[in-house]
Amino acid sequence: MEFQNYANELIEYLIIGEQRGRLIQYNISEIAKGEIAVLMYLLKEKDGANAYEISRRFDINTSRVAAILNSLCRKEYVKRMSDADDKRKIHVYITPKGQSFCLQRYNDVLSHVTRMLSELGEKDAKEYVRIMKKITDIFKEMD
């Protein structure tokens, strides 16, 4: 059985739960909040994002977003570029260095969760992921 598929699915649910402030386990908070979370978001957003979009996505204020982006820029993990149509708008894009760092951190967590699920065995791993998804769905409905 491919426990890594279960682990990928589980991490997605844990991130959703962590971002809602409900679940704290397996160091998921590192990839659910802060710099790594922004990098993961930018990794998926091929057209980049602006500070307002990031602020809304993570439910954090724009000054916190600015601090995160400044830190990521200093590390050369992201780059800021003016919008071609409106020079006042700034879009942020992940750099190859940022992609590499982000994927390495994600893979570290993925490896940890995969190992945990493999210890549970196929039946229990599948059930655990199902239950975590159900819990996450319940929290979504409560919000």
Say what the pLDDT of residue 22 is: 46
In the numeric block, the tokens 């893979």 are attached to 107
CA angle (95, 62, 8) in 5-degree steps: 50
Contacts of 103 (CB under 8 A, 6+ apart): 43
Could you give phi then psi for residue 122, rounded to 5 degrees? Answer: -60, -50
Say what the pLDDT of residue 32 is: 61
Domain ranges of the chain: 3-137
Say what the pLDDT of residue 103 is: 92
Say what the pLDDT of residue 30 is: 60
CATH class in words for 3-137: mainly alpha
Q: What is the largest CA-CA distance in the chain?
A: 54
**Distance set, CA 135 to CA 18, 19, 65, 130, 139 (Å):** 12, 14, 29, 9, 6
Say what the pLDDT of residue 75 is: 94
Total residues found in the chain within this entry: 143
Say what the pLDDT of residue 31 is: 61
Q: What is the mean pLDDT of each run of 10 residues along the chain (143 residues)?
A: 85 73 51 82 89 90 92 95 82 95 88 86 95 88 82
